[in-house]
Every structure is written in C-alpha cells, then in structure tokens.
Amino acid sequence: MADTPRMTGKNVLVTGGTAGIGEATAVGLAALGARVGITGRDRIRAEAAAVDIRAASGNPAVDVFTADMSSQAEIRRLAGEVLDAYPRLDVLVNNVGGFWAHRHVTADGLEHTVALNYLGPFLLTNLLLDRLKASAPARIVTVSSGAHTQGRIDFDDLQGSARYSGQRAYNASKLANVMFTYELARRLEGTGVTATVLHPGVVRTNFGAEDQADFFKVMRPLVRPFMKSPTAGAATPIYLASSAQVEGVTGRYFVNRKPKASNKVSYDSAAAVRLWKISADLVGFTTDRRT
C-alpha cells in the first residue's frame, strides 16, 4: 500500500472493531498512524482487541467504546462519547454487521438484522455528521456485501414480520447500506465529506455464528479454505479510508479497491429517499434531517 498516505493526526472510528474485518481494518489504519477508536459489545473483549491492535500496529493510540449497535439508546450514548473524545473525526468506518437465521427483535421492537446492519449505521452516521463536516475533508466508509445484489427492499414489510428469511433479511440490509450511501453522498455534496460503500469479499470470520443457518453449517468447512483472510478483507475499507487515490470520490461502490456497478435497484434515487424518510422515523428523528 505504498500509495496510501500516512494517517498521522487523523481520528478514525471503526464499528465492530473487536474481530474479523473490523479489527484488521483498525490494525491497518493504526499502522498508518491514525488514532483509532473501536466499538464492541463487551468491554473485556474490546479491551483485549485493543491490546492486540496496539501490538500489531505499533501504535498505542487505540481507544475502546462499548455499545450494542442494535440498540438505539446505546448508539446515542456511543455518539456522545465519541464526540467528547474526538474534537475532530476524520473517518467513520461503518463495519459492524451480522447474520441471523431466525427472526429476533431488538429492545426497540425492530427486526435485529435491519436494526444492526442498516439502522445502526444510519443512526450513528447522522449523529456524527456535524463533527465529520466540521472536520472536512472527511470520509464515511460503509461495509456492505456482494449479497446486496440479491436484495430487495420490501417497503410493506421492512421488519420481516409477515414472512422472515435470514438470507432475505441480510440481502435487504446490505442493499439498504448501498442505497443509504448513495443518498448520503447526494446530501453531502459540497461539504467535503465523502461516502463510499464496499464489498470486502467472502472472509474467514465467525460471521453468523450466533444463530447459524443449517446451510452455513454444512458449507462453511468446505468453502473456508477458499475464503479471504480478515487482513485481505480489510484492504478495501483501509484503502477507502486513507488513500489519496480516492480523495473526493463519493457515492461509489467498491470491490477489491476498484469501483464497480451495484444492484440496479440501488440507483433508484426515489426509492432511496423513501428509505431515508422511513429510516429517520424508525430511529426517532422528529424531522427528515437534511445534511
């Protein structure tokens, strides 16, 4: 990554930074000199991850924040702590996500997959947006998935209450990540804050382990040798968070550090506006917040 500039003096927040792609992203950005904050649900696990990140990167400036990113109250608390800790915020990496084979409901009464994978990043990004704009040039990088190409936003059943499929919910949440990024980029035009989204590849992590589908249980041992390492999966988020080559690039979807076309549906700006307004209602914004 010789083309990637040093990140000394930059403050970065990586959600879900205690393992897998998130931890590898934190290591990479810390190694480039950034002060990196990571989020995790469990304080002990997050502190242990921070120790590992400091050792692997050679950078002691790694901060720990704890929050369940499926809980809106905890996201709001997290945002307040981040704003207190970082007078400027140069990069937000929305990495946290997961897969659940069965339908679960959060404390906010929302389906867990959409709450964690999509509404969590939507809410946190909006809560940190003023700080990001004040720190411009700044970047928002969101980890989606190639599974978004199979996604469909069912506006009549966003919570999967009528019929639930873990894969369908996951695909839809990742499509929502892409649509959110494109709409965010439109709203941020002229602010100096960019928004990009990416597919990290199929990576060897504990993805879906909390509530694993039978299909994954059978297939995972067979395909695991062909999966990317977390370090390889982190290459694109690190690139989008730090490289001069993408300075000013916004509203694009990336795979293997290269821009690619996303699902045709993701370019429907009217649907993206509709999704944004519904999302704003679901996270409790009293008005449709303009950036």
Domain parsing of the chain, residue ranges = 11-282
Per the prediction, the chain carries an average pLDDT of 90
Residue 3 confidence (pLDDT) above 80: no
The two structure tokens encoding residue 193: 């804050």
CA 99 – CA 211 distance, rounded (Å): 7
Beta bridge partners of 114: none
- Determine contact, residues 198/236, Cβ cutoff 8 Å: yes
With pLDDT > 70 as the criterion, what percentage of the chain qualifies? Answer: 88
Catalytic residues: 170
Fold of 11-282: Rossmann fold (3.40.50)
| Section 255-275 average pLDDT | 97
- Determine contact, residues 149/265, Cβ cutoff 8 Å: no
Residue 180 confidence (pLDDT) above 60: yes
pTM of the model: 0.90
Predicted confidence (pLDDT) per residue in 227-253, tens digit: 578 899 999 999 999 999 999 999 999
Chain Cα centroid distance, residue 265 = 20
Q: Could you tell me whether strands 138-143 and 91-94 are parallel, antiparallel, or unpaired per DSSP bridges?
A: parallel
End-to-end, the C-alpha distance of the chain in Å comes to 33
Please name which of 51, 79, 50, 32 lies closest in space to residue 238, comparing C-alpha atoms: 32
pLDDT confidence band for 291 (50 / 70 / 90): low
Rg of the chain taking only CA atoms, in angstroms:
18
CA angle 14–15–18, rounded 5-degree value: 90
Predicted confidence (pLDDT) per residue in 183-215, tens digit: 999 999 999 999 999 999 775 445 544 544 554
Predicted confidence (pLDDT) per residue in 66-77, tens digit: 999 999 999 999
Residue 86 confidence (pLDDT) above 80: yes
CA 46 – CA 78 distance, rounded (Å): 14
Pick 276 or 205 by higher pLDDT.
Answer: 276
pLDDT confidence band for 288 (50 / 70 / 90): low
Q: What number of other Cβ atoms are within 10 A of residue 159's Cβ? A: 18
pLDDT of residue 39: 98
